[in-house]
Amino acid sequence: MSQVLTLQIPEEVYQPLVEIAQQRGQSPEEFAIQELIFSIQHFADDPLKPFIGSIQSNIPDWTENHDRYLGEKLLTKSRNLNA
């Protein structure tokens, strides 16, 4: 079963969406659906999801960007080990 969802998208988001979709040979709707599916699956499959909100942090965007912060930390640690 599918549902209809109508969105008003700001122009600064819509234009890149159209351009990327065209580069991939897709309609903007097809591309947007694929991106939504990917984002939802990424969040649903996040192994840190159960811990979000349980740890006090001074990093205001930790919830949204924890993968980036962890990756940066691992990269720094790896470089220090190889130095």
pTM reported for the whole predicted model: 0.54
Torsion of CA 72, 73, 75, 81, to 10 degrees: 160
2 pLDDT higher than 80: yes
11 pLDDT higher than 90: yes
Is the same domain home to 3 and 40?
Answer: yes
Is the same domain home to 41 and 3?
Answer: yes
CB 38 within 8 A of CB 49: no
Is the same domain home to 57 and 23?
Answer: no
Is the same domain home to 23 and 53?
Answer: no
Distance of CA 38 to the CA centre of its chain: 8
The three-state DSSP-derived secondary structure of 47-58 is CCHHHCCCCCCC
Is the same domain home to 11 and 32?
Answer: yes
Q: What pLDDT does residue 61 have?
A: 80
pLDDT tens digits, 60-82: 787 777 778 778 888 887 777 77
pLDDT tens digits, 14-51: 999 999 999 999 999 999 999 998 888 876 777 777 77
**Which domain range does residue 29 map to?**
1-45
What's the rounded Cα separation, in Å, for the pair 40 and 8? 20
